[in-house]
A and B are shown apart, each in its own frame.
Chain A
Amino acid sequence: MFVITCPYCGERDLSEFAYGGEAHIARPEWREDMSDAEWAEFLFMRTNPKGILAERWMHAAGCRRFFNMLRNTATDDILAVYRIGETPPKVEARLPATPSGEAPIGSGNDAVKIIQPGEGA
């Protein structure tokens, strides 16, 4: 239930937006020899990262424009918003605390809720 900064309309509530899935997945040019596997890659296979995701959103209740966004899916921190056709900016995320990319919140791991010895402020 976060706030998204529409590149045209500014900060708006999540409820005004429609999710458009992973960004930068270009629809392949039609080719007779395109393999089923190649097509399946476009159709279904997704990175689904726990970390920085480039994704598409549409400001459905507002200007109806699609745009791209970089978001840390482990924390829902929005790192950048950019327009369709633009290259994603370089961003840094507040990195997940544990080796596999465990979110610093909400897991079954008690360490994430409480400052552990040696963990700096």
Chain B
Amino acid sequence: MADETGGAPERRMPLFRRQAIEGAPGTLRLEELAFAAKFILRLDPQAGGEAFGAATGLDLPPAPLMSVVNGERAVLWLGPDEFLVLAPEGEAAGLADAVASGLKDVHHQFTEVSDYYTCIAVEGPKARKALMKLTTLDLHPRAFSVGTVAGSNFAQAQGWLWLEHEAEGAARFRLYVRWSMAEYLWGTLAEAGREWGLPEQEPVTGEPMLTESVTSRKA
């Protein structure tokens, strides 16, 4: 088959088949963001927050559900001793080394999850409403302001929602979801946006399965 050439390493995101989609103008847009470095940091902020800051130039979020952005790097609060650290793709190795040496005397864990998670950008004036078809989080501007991070279930997929930016009523959310759930979540998000004209995104289904039990059939 034509595409069966090994060749140079080829990187494919989970939603590589999916183009960005958009509803009626000024409503809603979905896009899988380009590859970026992601790490899970497990660390007691009391014990190692300063050392982490010294090593990476990043403060840890001062309170739950908050994020800290410094240039192209960001830290998202996931739990009292758990953070998602974001950086441009090229900085992954350097970041890991910096943390390893800067925190070598502090009990911590810095695990690369760049490939574990992908990120779907959900943006536009209807972004909040579209996401509320999937999650029980209160996404009203009074309850979910810019910079907020929350882990929740989005339909049947766990994910991390970060309101990165909002201007003139158009919110830009980033939704971090694990690889294997991306296709499902994309389809469900698109379905939620049908009301505003998002095109239908037929999920990849129809895998052939056996419809009879074949245990121990004879030779």
Asked whether any CB of A lies within 8 Å of a CB of B in the complex, the reply is yes
* Smallest Cβ-Cβ distance to A65: which chain B residue: B79
Q: Is A8 in contact with B79, judged by CB distance below 8 angstroms? A: yes
Question: Could you jot down 14 A-B contacts, CB within 8 Å?
Answer: A8-B80, A9-B151, A10-B64, A13-B136, A15-B136, A16-B151, A16-B153, A61-B151, A62-B79, A62-B150, A63-B64, A63-B79, A63-B82, A64-B78
Interface flag for B152 (CB, 8 Å): yes
Q: Is B153 in contact with A9, judged by CB distance below 8 angstroms? A: no
Q: Other CB < 8 Å A-B pairs besides A8-B64, A12-B152, 15 of them?
A: A9-B64, A9-B65, A9-B150, A9-B151, A15-B153, A59-B151, A60-B158, A61-B151, A61-B153, A61-B158, A62-B150, A62-B151, A63-B64, A64-B78, A65-B79
Q: Is A61 in contact with B152, judged by CB distance below 8 angstroms? A: yes
Please report the total number of A residues contacting B with Cβ < 8 Å.
14
Q: Report B175 CB to chain A, min CB distance, Å.
A: 13
Main secondary structure of the interface of A (DSSP, over half): loop
Cβ contacts under 8 Å, A60 to chain B: 158
Encode A1-44 as 1/0 by CB contact (under 8 A) with B: 00000001110110110000000000000000000000000000
Beyond A10-B65, A15-B136, A16-B136, whether A64 also contacts B153 by CB under 8 A is no
Q: Report A1 CB to chain B, min CB distance, Å.
A: 10
Cβ contacts under 8 Å, A63 to chain B: 64, 78-80, 82, 151
Q: Is B152 in contact with A64, judged by CB distance below 8 angstroms? A: no
* Smallest Cβ-Cβ distance to A11: which chain B residue: B138
CA distance A15 to B65 in the complex (A): 18
Cβ contacts under 8 Å, B152 to chain A: 12, 16, 61-62
Cβ contacts under 8 Å, B80 to chain A: 8, 63, 65
Q: What 3 A-B pairs come out closest when comparing CB atoms?
A: A63-B79, A13-B136, A62-B151
Cβ contacts under 8 Å, B136 to chain A: 12-13, 15-16
